[in-house]
Structure 1
């Protein structure tokens, strides 16, 4: 909608957002009319009546402008209030802060008494090429005009939106999860396929599989379908890339990650996914399923657990499961070879249209003409209408004419396809096309492309340079990547403020295949694992202290390669290295919620039956037993964790032994109430050991466990003392994760003891900490805490909105609070009795709020500017 302007926050249903700017009191009726018009168009109004903030902090409304698509200004007589130390009113400031490329619809109510500064602003607006200046007289007239103008604007911008980026790079790692990539280039020749797949999804089919060879365009069709069927799935669409997933056991953890579900081991992943999808009409896109086709029966269990969910799968192989509907993705149409290709015949070919579109991007000014139509048609026929093959060939018009490209393909393709006869016909053509494209590169760039095959979904320049030591392309990484980008073999995008690169799945498969043929794959994979081992060694210490938030963000960026590194270490029997790699990241797995995934790796490590150190065996058993401790506690689990205590101690790692001791105490509590005394003694012993060792993070989190135990046993004074100790240790070391957990629980207990002001301050503080860490569960805790405060004070709308917003977060991430520590619900229910309409209105609004909007309702006005930037990129 706004050209280069890119929204950072979306409403849950991804509607286009319209920012409304005006003075509040003098235009109350007109604002109501604007809201009605925007909602009539099924768009999302962004207005500051929510939370009743007439003068929001500048950074807050800046963030809301950044995440909006259209600016609507409504002006009458007043210029608006000018805040202390400001030179202009909020009205003019909002207009100035709106991105230059954002479409602006400005409505001026007739008046003879306009303030001079407003006249000056209007005069300036009249000169703005991006603003439409429109008069009106009544609120009713305004409502109709806004609706009509928005409809016209949407129609004008539709074609522009089709040219948005293909694998849209998010601004932060957090935005990546589950978002449907927006194509960078137009999708050509798939209108009939889009309609066909839409009809299948609109029916009763639970799994629709897009089947075809590599390079045929399955992923692109799935992306376009996901974007075009939002109306069929009002509760959301999630995109789950599986190209780096090779173990069937990782299907559920990967789906959970992209749904935003945090796996802390406390409940089975299937149960959490079922909770997250319960009652929701959603589409889950699973891309590149052929690598783990043995996991297909898991989908049957999932759609039994989530009866309203639908799965759209791309695969080279039919899944053959109950409920699957197969859609064969075909090639693009090529001109008939039996007759000469005229310009008009070439234009009617979707394959030729794709070639021309991509050639124009590679060489501005390129045109399909009478002179080159036959050559373009020959290229498309020889490439059998395969979209990716055509794109690779079109990229060469930068250097070669269509005639020369056609001649070279005629010479090269028969030889190359003959060399790979063991592949299906169209896959042979795709492989041969990549071979041909690569053959045009200098030797060093060919080597670089093949070496890049060891990376997972994305990688950085630093990582590439580290792997270049001793390779033919050493010292040429940046120039080589630039050349590969020019050749459409590598893609570049921005993420978390740095340049990141990626390969298409089929190009990565090709590159890795070439490495294997040359006998270089194991060497490069070892170098890859060693590099990411150094990344872990560098970042792991920061997880315990002041660099925690930055370390979590950086590890999130590197996550696909961390997974690939562990997989390679286990595959090549470097089992002790794999155990060390996993253990160093214990805190990251905990904060980010990846215990289920790590458990799969560690069980695979144990099944190897290779010699390993006692430390590695203890690590593997610890991760394997973590989920059992919460989900299926037993005497065997307690004994197993006791064995971990012994093995860690005998290997000389007293730090790990103390953490295992705390875990065993937790297992005792989960298994039997008869062992409470022994569990408390073990937790106390663990705290003392961890304190002496200097492991502040583990000491603080174990103190939290002791405090919770005291609370459950009814000793709230002791619980408060221990929460104080935990928060003090965490704060001193800069551990914001445990500070958030301990602080929120302490605030809940203080609230129950009647210390409302003290509790409110701490709920707000823990909310700030959770926002810094992008910790959804912590945000839910904080919203519930402020909800309790609001309910106790009789603020029905605010309490209802925050309760529903927190419930939505918990529903989405699949993590629910322990009833023993929940404090807001009794007060909310009491308020529901006295003011049912107020609570109900809040709950309706809270259900529609994004996480960022809910946080703004919870935080005091003065605090909102401090979190605006983080929330804008959540």
Structure 2
């Protein structure tokens, strides 16, 4: 990298570092003589036999070179050893890697019969106008030459930096860009994008914006390496320990090698030194000096051809600023978010593995620890510093144990690495560094935001803020937190949505608890989301269902958090009211099992809740059990829940539980199907009378399944066709997808293959629109059966494997009596073909599998084919 004028050599007592390059055994005497000459000048020799391996790896001698000040090359007859997989020897590689601006003193032994490749290297050196070379005959003569040349070089360069130099003659010594000791992972696109911004000259100030630990400084170093040849010099201004705004310009001047001797104002000295130079000035950790940001605009005038690259946790808000947001590393493949195998190829996982192996070389990725590694990086939201700190723990803990302890991130993620800045030694220090820069009202808002889980809206922040110090300036305060990278903001369907990083949220919760405000803020939060649940519940069962689901999906984490808080605080009525109102949403979102767990916790905390609260809890517990344990006690438990609903004057709840009791009998294989049909029909009729279309449609689905149990597919078609018409008229997309899928089964059983495929495809499209993973699994199982029927067994296997993966992830299990697609796959003449397809399909995400399924869903059945 070109760094401007030659660097001023430091005085002897500052231990100038001299890198010595030569073959080892051949020139052992000469190396000893050179070392003695260097040490006589009280300089520091950098020589591998003083502690390094005989054949050091490339990254090791490159690190030594980057920390050295002078290159001394001593060449005899041998070209040197070429390591396996390399094309040149370490001897030639050391010369090639030497920075162009570093002084190079070359000494050739004469006479010598040099190997051909060494002759070629010497010829290139002789053509290099940045290197000087001389010949020597003995080690003693070599020592005299080296000592004399180093003394001369030292005197020339020290004189160039004399304090008596006039400002217009001043030779700048730029603060070097720090050496990167670890590879940069997953930032290739960022490096290219930022390099383009600083290189094209159209942007005077490029700000790398991101929270602490995101990797801004490391990215800036990589950009400097990429664009150095486009500038007269690259200057690194370290500001992490500079807190006074008045010290910004002096710090920049110091990094440029400009001394403020008081003779003329510093700004004028900067103008003289920077005039006509095209420099890249990296201002690292500028966030605590934002008040001095206007000074940067003056630098534009002082150095009109230079570019400023700042790393900061907060937007500077000055003219000419071009913000580049540094985002977390990807933690999964967007096409298949649930694929563990693909997630291991994501940058976040690769970073974890690389850092883990750096502290524990024996660490290896195995099938057993892969899910834990993926879980760690996803739990840490792709934050590089957090990942590195977690990876450092593999010396003590396996990945599964690290993952289990990540609920307490702030104590787990502490760095054993002693040379990190104090603010990066722990995640806690990183957060406290950022929050310490905020005014008190912003810190209080950040603490209060800790009650939110993941995504939340401005309206929700306003709703919990009554009488809080920040209530009157909530928009401005939230903007400041976003600008400080302590809160992230995104646009979801035209609405601003905010989120706290997990570690920041944990820090905020700690503060709330320490200040004794945790319970109060959680009560406010729960009241807000109970109101949202009640407002949206009425839209879940009709034509507004999709809109309601989208709104609730946006708030889903906070809805769950609110219900859980009500459960843990023993508020049985509010908890069960919110839980039951959102029954359809919990189903679509895949949270019914979780709600069941909370209902059990509620009964444990409140042994004698009011009848309706008990009814809701009993209904959820039995509903989940119906798909996991089809024992004879489940119908009785649902009958009991129905009776409890009736005693609480909840007719809809009573009818729904009654229908569910009939469904439980069918799922359990109860031989008394008439009794089951009676319960389903009575519940269905009651729900239809009350205008609960979705409930009546689900009843029709249950009656259709019951007819299959009786072996009467014609009767099932009648029941399902009636329910399908009802669902389409009612505008309820969820139940339409459910009954359309079942209707597709009946059509397939009837031999109407093309119509069946169309029905499964329609059901799949509706499930995708709702992001209903269980519905997607059902539909692609239907299309797997269609593919197998058509002889497309590899395709059928892919769809079956994808459905299996979705069901395993969401714990959405169909009753064994109603699983049908496997019988079609069993007809494959080559079972291995199906198995290979299933293996591929297990790596598909739900939406990816849906797209694959729909791509071939509407093929037509060949003439004359019917089963």
TM-score by length of 2: 0.53
Q: Cα–Cα, structure 1 residues 194 and 164, in superposed 2: closer, same or farther, change >3 Å?
A: farther
Structure 2 stretches lacking a partner, 5+ long:
1-188, 193-199, 201-221, 228-323, 393-397, 860-867
Q: Cα–Cα, structure 1 residues 164 and 805, in superposed 2: closer, same or farther, change >3 Å?
A: same
> What residue in structure 2 maps to residue 661 of structure 1?
658
Which of 358, 362, 383 is matched with 1:195 structurally?
358
> What residue in structure 2 maps to residue 289 of structure 1?
405
Contact 1:180 1:226 in 2 (8 A): no
3-state SS, counterpart of residue 456 of structure 1 = coil
> What residue in structure 2 maps to residue 560 of structure 1?
557
Q: Cα–Cα, structure 1 residues 216 and 849, in superposed 2: closer, same or farther, change >3 Å?
A: closer
> What residue in structure 2 maps to residue 146 of structure 1?
none
Q: 1:166 aligned to 2:309?
A: no
Q: 1:699 aligned to 2:784?
A: no
Which of 427, 432, 444 is matched with 1:388 structurally?
427
> What residue in structure 2 maps to residue 859 of structure 1?
854
Q: 1:746 aligned to 2:743?
A: yes
Q: Cα–Cα, structure 1 residues 157 and 712, in superposed 2: closer, same or farther, change >3 Å?
A: farther
Q: Measure how far apart 1:771 and its partner are.
A: 1.5
Contact 2:331 2:348 in 1 (8 A): no
Q: Cα–Cα, structure 1 residues 165 and 691, in superposed 2: closer, same or farther, change >3 Å?
A: same
1:69-106 CA-to-partner distances (Å, cap 9, x unmatched) read xxxxxxxxxxxxxxxxxxxxxxxxxxxxxxxx9999xx
Q: Measure how far apart 1:167 and its partner are.
A: 6.8
Distance in 2 between the 1:497 and 1:288 partners? 37
Q: Cα–Cα, structure 1 residues 642 and 850, in superposed 2: closer, same or farther, change >3 Å?
A: closer
> What residue in structure 2 maps to residue 479 of structure 1?
476
Q: Measure how far apart 1:559 and its partner are.
A: 2.3
Q: Cα–Cα, structure 1 residues 517 and 164, in superposed 2: closer, same or farther, change >3 Å?
A: closer
Q: Cα–Cα, structure 1 residues 846 and 547, in superposed 2: closer, same or farther, change >3 Å?
A: same
Distance in 1 between the 2:347 and 2:680 partners? 54
Distance in 2 between the 1:633 and 1:189 partners? 43
Contact 2:774 2:812 in 1 (8 A): yes
Contact 1:194 1:224 in 2 (8 A): no
3-state SS, counterpart of residue 539 of structure 2 = helix
3-state SS, counterpart of residue 444 of structure 1 = helix
Q: Measure how far apart 1:710 and its partner are.
A: 1.0
TM-score by length of 1: 0.53
Q: Cα–Cα, structure 1 residues 706 and 574, in superposed 2: closer, same or farther, change >3 Å?
A: same
> What residue in structure 2 maps to residue 643 of structure 1?
640
Note the 1:572-611 alignment, pairs <5 A: 572-609=569-606
Q: Cα–Cα, structure 1 residues 499 and 705, in superposed 2: closer, same or farther, change >3 Å?
A: same
Distance in 1 between the 2:692 and 2:858 partners? 32
Note the 1:20-39 alignment, pairs <5 A: none
Q: 1:464 aligned to 2:549?
A: no
Q: Measure how far apart 1:546 and its partner are.
A: 2.2
Q: Cα–Cα, structure 1 residues 536 and 672, in superposed 2: closer, same or farther, change >3 Å?
A: same
3-state SS, counterpart of residue 732 of structure 1 = helix
Note the 1:666-815 alignment, pairs <5 A: 666-671=663-668, 673-795=670-792, 798-815=795-812
Q: Measure how far apart 1:811 and its partner are.
A: 4.9
Contact 2:740 2:760 in 1 (8 A): yes
Q: Cα–Cα, structure 1 residues 828 and 531, in superposed 2: closer, same or farther, change >3 Å?
A: same
Q: Cα–Cα, structure 1 residues 470 and 693, in superposed 2: closer, same or farther, change >3 Å?
A: same
Q: 1:333 aligned to 2:418?
A: yes
Note the 1:822-833 alignment, pairs <5 A: 822-830=819-827, 832-833=828-829
Contact 2:540 2:549 in 1 (8 A): yes
3-state SS, counterpart of residue 859 of structure 1 = helix
Which has more radius of gyration?
2
Q: How many residues align?
A: 539
Distance in 1 between the 2:818 and 2:713 partners? 12
Contact 1:615 1:648 in 2 (8 A): yes
Q: Measure how far apart 1:586 and its partner are.
A: 1.1
Q: Cα–Cα, structure 1 residues 103 and 776, in superposed 2: closer, same or farther, change >3 Å?
A: farther
Of 713-722 and 662-671, more deviation after overlay is shown by 662-671
Distance in 2 between the 1:759 and 1:218 partners? 43
3-state SS, counterpart of residue 582 of structure 1 = helix
Q: Measure how far apart 1:692 and its partner are.
A: 0.7
Q: Cα–Cα, structure 1 residues 590 and 286, in superposed 2: closer, same or farther, change >3 Å?
A: farther
1:111-141 CA-to-partner distances (Å, cap 9, x unmatched) read xxxxxxxxxxxxxxxxxx9xxxxxxxxxxxx
Which of 446, 451, 456 is matched with 1:449 structurally?
446
3-state SS, counterpart of residue 672 of structure 2 = helix
Q: Cα–Cα, structure 1 residues 692 and 511, in superposed 2: closer, same or farther, change >3 Å?
A: same
Distance in 2 between the 1:477 and 1:103 partners? 36
Distance in 2 between the 1:735 and 1:541 partners? 12
Note the 1:142-291 alignment, pairs <5 A: 165-166=327-328, 193-196=356-359, 199-202=362-365, 220=384, 223=387, 287=403, 289=405, 291=407
Q: Measure how far apart 1:627 and its partner are.
A: 2.7
Q: Cα–Cα, structure 1 residues 708 and 285, in superposed 2: closer, same or farther, change >3 Å?
A: farther
Distance in 1 between the 2:355 and 2:347 partners? 21
Q: Measure how far apart 1:578 and its partner are.
A: 0.7
Distance in 2 between the 1:632 and 1:481 partners? 48
Q: Measure how far apart 1:705 and its partner are.
A: 0.8
Of 191-200 and 443-452, more deviation after overlay is shown by 191-200
3-state SS, counterpart of residue 456 of structure 2 = coil
Distance in 1 between the 2:839 and 2:630 partners? 39
